[in-house]
Structure 1
Amino acid sequence: MNSVAMTVASMLFAGGCRILAVPAAARAIRIPRAALSSHHNKHAPSWGCRSSHNSNTALAGEAEFSTTDAGNLTATSSSDSFPKYDRLLPCPSHKNPPRIEHLVISEGGPVLELICKALDLPPLYVSDLIQFGAVYYALVCPQPPPNATEEQIRVFKEVTEPSVLRKRASIKGKTVREAQKTFRVTHVDQFVEPGTYLRVHVHPKRFPRSYEIDWRSRIIAVAESYVVLDKPAGTSVGGTTDNIEESCATFATRALGMTTPLMTTHQIDNCTEGCVVLARTKDYCSIFHGKIREKKVKKLYLALAASPLPTGIITHYMRPINMAPRLISEDFIKGWHLCQLEVLECRKIPWPTTAIQDKYCVEDCGWPSQDYAYECKINLLTGKTHQIRAQFAAYKAPLIGDSMYMPAAIADVSNPGLNPFGKYKKDFSSESEKETAVVNWMAQHGKEPSVAIGLQACQISWDDDEHFYEAGLPWWRC
């Protein structure tokens, strides 16, 4: 291989793929759209404030966006298809379409220089990507997906040929699977040897709200081993796969003037606000993880629901698939995860005013009655991703502003039986019929909320309340 780098996959733009234009010294190979689907979440948050929303308009709008942009790409040269790259900061208020590049290096050198040449990106931009944690490497190229092309399979076989791998001292003593494990690139001058695989997230997921927050005012407590933060909605606790820079942990570390980065001990959704514990040491990070496993950590939430719920324990079972939306069933299904929460109290309050919703970029998801809302205090008994949001929606009491689950709840109210796991689920004559119903039910859900929903982690305690902390007022009371 005589090229500086070989592009194994091209960008994913608005749900479609396109061959990347690279310098003449590099070769480009297209990867199928399905092969990159794991990198593209159509429900990823976009920056924006209050908007009218329902599942049908969301899907139609997305389809229109994809078609339009695909047409624009076809009409222009590939070099004109990308925005002009400069720096990742200042943070843009708009969301760029996903672009993930996969490279196999054929001539060794500094990682920054190789990426700049292969992808025609300015050095400062690539340097920013590395600082954001958006560049990964593996000593050996990972196995191509089942739907890979013949050319992709040929390239993979070429760079993983046993006779080629035996010549590489860096992988001696490792199995091929071990050598295919990916790690973050942490330095711009990191040397990358021939045969190394690189994955570059050219358009990281951004969090503009991070720059609007007075982070020092959000600190609840600073202890010897940990910090408790009142996390703002619209921010990420510990960052994402392609962005560890714009995170609560990073901004809290800077606000406190600490030289050692704070570490995440647990997560809450980006659209949720409230108490988060950040560890100051690796040891305490492990200790707190142990307390969570041993159920010594108690979390209380405030949820602002569109309908009332009865007090007591609510039980569902969540499908064990790590993707949104999270589907739950009222009936036990083997292999599905138990989800339990206890509604401690539920009180009727006025629906938040338009001014308050606009201030916190809370989306109007089309709930028919907006005179009163219901503030519920919840003891979370099991901690599954999206658990409160999914369980409340299944009870036809979705959280205000939850643009992912409220559209499905509205659809379920107007069409009982639409939910294949709900109270009025239908009997299916075949597995394929049921699978079609599941796909249709997932399509009733909307996109991930842009900033805030009616959910706050209002209280956290552990060791029998020896450590006890409360968040400030939720946004709907401000």
Structure 2
Amino acid sequence: MLASMNIALVATHGCRGLGSTSLSLLRTLARTRASPSAASCCDYFAPRRSFSSISSAFPCKSSITDVTVTKTATDSAENGYPQYHRLLPCPSFSKLPRVEHMVVLEAGPVMEYICKSLDLPPLYVADLIHFGAVYYALVCPQPPKTATPEQIRLFKKFTEPSFLKGRKSIKGKTVREAQKTFRITHVDEFVEVGTYLRVHVHPKRFPRCYDIDWKSRIIAVTESYVVLDKPAGTSVGGTTDNIEESCATFATRALGLTSPLWTTHQIDNCTEGCVILARTKEYCSIFHRKIREKRVMKHYLALSAAPVPMGIITHYMRPINIAPRLVSKDCIDGWILCQLEVLECREVSWPDVDIEAKYCFEDGGWPSKKKAYECKINLLTGRTHQIRAQLADCGAPLVGDSMYMPAVVAEMGSPGLNPFGKCKKEYTSEEDKETAVAEWIALHGKEPAVAIGLQAYEISWDSREHIYNAGTPWWRQEQL
């Protein structure tokens, strides 16, 4: 039996990032088992996120089905975890996140080590590697303040200069460079003693990928790029733990391309519409430069629950990379400028109950569901959740936005709950304001399951030399 430095982390509220999210420490560095309910909070080994689709479209060099099955999954649950078989077929929902952190104590093939350390079947681990859910670093990152003495002892042991000096793999690298994480891409990849491993045992899943006619979503194909009408409920280039179930992967396969498509920009999973996928790394860099130089224009259709004023709307966004995104109409030091221009706003019918069911809407508590408002928006700055957060602050959340709508409804019922809103209160201390901010965040809901009323309906660049339009938005299709 292999010993390992082994920590299991489960993110709260379904969030899968490890950065500043509150996480639960479920395992010790030695291979001891703990009940999933026994938890102490910590932030641990923040991953460096990479959504490049360079390896997302193709399996490892040796086929996953060629893996020799030497052991089987145990029936649940001595350890509190479910039985594991394969990642496919895709389930209709994602399991609660389970992230394991280990330091390798016995050199060998990575799949074999993970199987023995985590008691997982080889085919399941091979699937995880194929999905991009396994990472390594040559040197273990710094453990959290909540780490046990044994955890600290093992960390110090494997980061001692005398130990590191004997590892040829890190020769010429600083410790910081050696702590950088990379994806494991092959089941037979060799890991040496002291290597850090991070295994996302329950990747976030995207079942809608398997329901889409991807060829019908292709808008244009050129020598340099592909224009995709991205379906709602899918990821453009993948997530930290899943680069298999992504638009880049499925579009590559639909077109029968021999090289994977590259992600050039992102839109939210719950947003549909125009996305540019580069066919080469070189064009990916070219398009990134166009975005930086503000040569790319993006126009959106937004279906809001209330009318939105015409013209330019300006907010400032809190510079914290966690949802929900908080915005203020007042300029706050360090907050990021957000601007959009509302070109048109017209009254339309609210989607009927059948459409709501089809797109897995959750009731955000909006009082009237008879009228909605379709807005044409010119996005002047491209911030994450920008349109969603700005329109919500205007009292016009997007239809289907289960994250922002509940907070808007709460503010409508009790003005002043939003510490950055137009009815904000005066606070006697910074501590009181921090409490109000935390309470305001808690009033937001979870991320939508499939779709919200938002479509990237047009993208253009180089003074509109290149212009592409998406198809009919989902809320209109049922009326055809």
Report matched runs for 1:287-436 at 5 Å: 287-436=286-435
Q: Which residue matches 1:120? A: 119
Deviation of residue 28 (structure 1)?
Answer: 6.4
Identity %, equivalent residues? 69
Report matched runs for 1:28-427 at 5 Å: 32-36=40-44, 79-427=78-426
- Code of the residue aligned with 2:150 in structure 1: it is E
Provide the TM-score with structure 2 as the length reference.
0.88
- Name whichever of 8-17 and 178-187 sits farther off: 8-17
User: Any idea what the Cα deviations from partners look like across 1:378-401, whole Å, max 9, x if unmatched?
Assistant: 000000000000000000000000
Contact in 2 for aligned 1:7/1:27 (Cα 8 Å):
no
- Code of the residue aligned with 2:42 in structure 1: it is A
- Code of the residue aligned with 2:398 in structure 1: it is L
Contact in 1 for aligned 2:405/2:444 (Cα 8 Å):
yes
Q: Which residue matches 1:4? A: 2
Q: Distance in 1 between matches of 2:232 and 2:243?
A: 17
Contact in 1 for aligned 2:42/2:144 (Cα 8 Å):
no
Q: Distance in 1 between matches of 2:7 and 2:77?
A: 15
Any unmatched runs of 5+ in structure 2? Answer: 14-22, 48-74
Q: Distance in 2 between matches of 1:161 and 1:410?
A: 55
Contact in 2 for aligned 1:297/1:463 (Cα 8 Å):
yes
- Code of the residue aligned with 2:188 in structure 1: it is D
Secondary structure of 2:433's partner?
helix
Matched pairs, number: 438
1:450/1:226 Cα in 2 relative to 1: closer, same or farther (>3 Å)? same
Q: Distance in 1 between matches of 2:440 and 2:11?
A: 26
Deviation of residue 357 (structure 1)?
Answer: 1.7
Q: Distance in 2 between matches of 1:475 and 1:26?
A: 49
Secondary structure of 1:370's partner?
coil
Q: Distance in 2 between matches of 1:216 and 1:235?
A: 15
Deviation of residue 80 (structure 1)?
Answer: 4.8
Contact in 1 for aligned 2:226/2:278 (Cα 8 Å):
yes
Q: Distance in 2 between matches of 1:79 and 1:274?
A: 46
Q: Distance in 2 between matches of 1:80 and 1:153?
A: 24
Any unmatched runs of 5+ in structure 1? Answer: 40-75
Deviation of residue 154 (structure 1)?
Answer: 1.4
- Name whichever of 141-150 and 186-195 sits farther off: 141-150
Deviation of residue 282 (structure 1)?
Answer: 0.4
Q: Distance in 2 between matches of 1:5 and 1:83?
A: 22
Secondary structure of 1:79's partner?
coil
1:19/1:417 Cα in 2 relative to 1: closer, same or farther (>3 Å)? closer
Q: Distance in 1 between matches of 2:156 and 2:77?
A: 28
Q: Distance in 2 between matches of 1:185 and 1:4?
A: 20
User: Any idea what the Cα deviations from partners look like across 1:325-348, whole Å, max 9, x if unmatched?
Assistant: 000011000110000000000000
- Code of the residue aligned with 1:173 in structure 2: it is G
- Code of the residue aligned with 1:188 in structure 2: it is V
Q: Distance in 1 between matches of 2:225 and 2:288?
A: 13
- Code of the residue aligned with 1:83 in structure 2: it is P
Report matched runs for 1:458-469 at 5 Å: 458-469=457-468
User: Any idea what the Cα deviations from partners look like across 1:343-393, whole Å, max 9, x if unmatched?
Assistant: 000000111111122222233312001111000000000000000000000
Deviation of residue 31 (structure 1)?
Answer: 8.1
Q: Distance in 1 between matches of 2:139 and 2:436?
A: 40
Contact in 2 for aligned 1:5/1:103 (Cα 8 Å):
no
1:88/1:254 Cα in 2 relative to 1: closer, same or farther (>3 Å)? same
Q: Distance in 1 between matches of 2:126 and 2:449?
A: 28
Deviation of residue 79 (structure 1)?
Answer: 2.6
- Code of the residue aligned with 1:372 in structure 2: it is K
Q: Which residue matches 1:439? A: 438
Q: Distance in 1 between matches of 2:162 and 2:258?
A: 46
* Bigger helix fraction: 1
Q: CA RMSD in A?
A: 2.0
Q: Which residue matches 2:19? A: none
User: Any idea what the Cα deviations from partners look like across 1:386-436, whole Å, max 9, x if unmatched?
Assistant: 000000000000000000000011011111111111111111111100100
Contact in 1 for aligned 2:45/2:142 (Cα 8 Å):
no
- Code of the residue aligned with 1:6 in structure 2: it is S
- Code of the residue aligned with 1:425 in structure 2: it is K
1:157/1:359 Cα in 2 relative to 1: closer, same or farther (>3 Å)? same
Contact in 1 for aligned 2:305/2:372 (Cα 8 Å):
yes
Contact in 2 for aligned 1:4/1:106 (Cα 8 Å):
yes
